[in-house]
Amino acid sequence: MVVVDARGSYCPGPLMEMIKTIKQVEVGETIEVLSSDESSAKDIPEWVKKAGHELVEVKKEDDYWRIVVKKLK
C-alpha cells in the first residue's frame, strides 16, 4: 500500500496529491490518503467514483481522515 500523508495540507492539496500518486502506481495497487482537511472525505470519494476506481474505506481517526482507494484501471 502507498501512503499519501497530506495532513496539514488544505483543499485541494490532499486530492491533488492522491491524483498525482494514482498516475504513478500500478493497477490493483491501494493508496491510503491521510488528510486533516474535512472536505477531502467528500471530494476524494466523489473523484474516485467519477474516475472509476474503488473506494475501499473512509474512516475518521482522531483528528484526521483515512481514505483508502484501489486503482482499478
Partner 1 sequence: MKSIVIVGGGVAGTITANYLAMRLKDEIRSGDVKVTLISDREKQLYEPGLLYLIFNRFEEEDILRDVKYLLDPQVELKIVRATRIDAESSKIDLEDGSKVEYDYLVIATGSRVVPEDVPGLVESGHWFYNLEGARRLREGLAKFRKGKILVSVMGIPHKCPVAPIEVTFLLHDFYKIHGVRKNVEILYTYPINKVFTMNNVSELVEEMFRERNIGYKTFFNPLEVDAERRVVVTLEGEEEPFDLLIAIPPHKGSQVIIDSGLGDRDGWVPTDRYTLKAEGYDNIYVVGDATNLPVSKAGSVAHFEAEVVAENIAAEVKGLPPTARYFGKAMCFIETGFDQATYIWFDYETPPKPVKPNKFIHWMKIAYNRMYWLTARGIL
User: Where does this chain bind partner 1 (CB under 8 A)?
Assistant: 9-13, 15-16, 19-20, 22-23, 43, 46-47, 50-52, 73
Q: How far apart are CA 68 and CA 31, in angstroms?
A: 6
Evaluate whether 65 touches 41 at the Cβ level (below 8 Å). Answer: yes
Least separation in angstroms between residue 47's CB and partner 1 is: 6
Q: Which residue's CB is nearer to partner 1, number 11 or number 68?
A: 11
Q: How far apart are CA 25 and CA 62, in angstroms?
A: 28
Active site residue 11: yes
Q: Which residue's CB is nearer to partner 1, number 12 or number 32?
A: 12
DSSP for residue 47: H
Question: Catalytic residues, which ones?
Answer: 11
